[in-house]
Structure 1
Amino acid sequence: MTDELRPEYKRSDFGEIVRGKYANRIKAETNVVLLDPDIAEAFPNDEAVNKALRYLLEVAKTSTSLTQRSSGLR
């Protein structure tokens, strides 16, 4: 391994090197979701995914409110 630091820098001037030091923080702060290939193939972009999920939420809310109304649980 060659030393790529400029002569005015010493390795000892820097702290301990920790691989992946910020990985958990970045993972917690992001909302990236990986889709399985067959699902990704069905949606051309993020707009299509969001539209489908919003529709699914509306259907779920509607069906839940219908179930609650019909059973008198409201």
Structure 2
Amino acid sequence: MLIRARSRQVDAACPDCGTGSSTVHSRYQRRLDDRPVSGRPVSILLTVRRFRAGSRPTDADRRPTGPGSRRQTA
């Protein structure tokens, strides 16, 4: 089972200065593997946007949960 997800947020704040930006620089996808459901493997395909904001050239959408480097939900 493949679940596709993306943020509904229109803009993001720069983590350095807090300035908001709605200018999207690029997008990329991240795949998170979840535990099987009824024996079927489950993956979440998350589309992440990178914004131009503040003193940094780009900054990615912040994921609402989980550490940044984990690729498994459990």
TM-score range, shorter chain: under 0.3
Higher relative contact order (CA 8 A, sep 6+): 2
The structure with the greater share of residues assigned to helix is 1
Mark the structure with the bigger radius of gyration.
1
Give TM-score scaled by structure 1 length.
0.19
The structure with the greater share of residues assigned to strand is 2
Give TM-score scaled by structure 2 length.
0.19
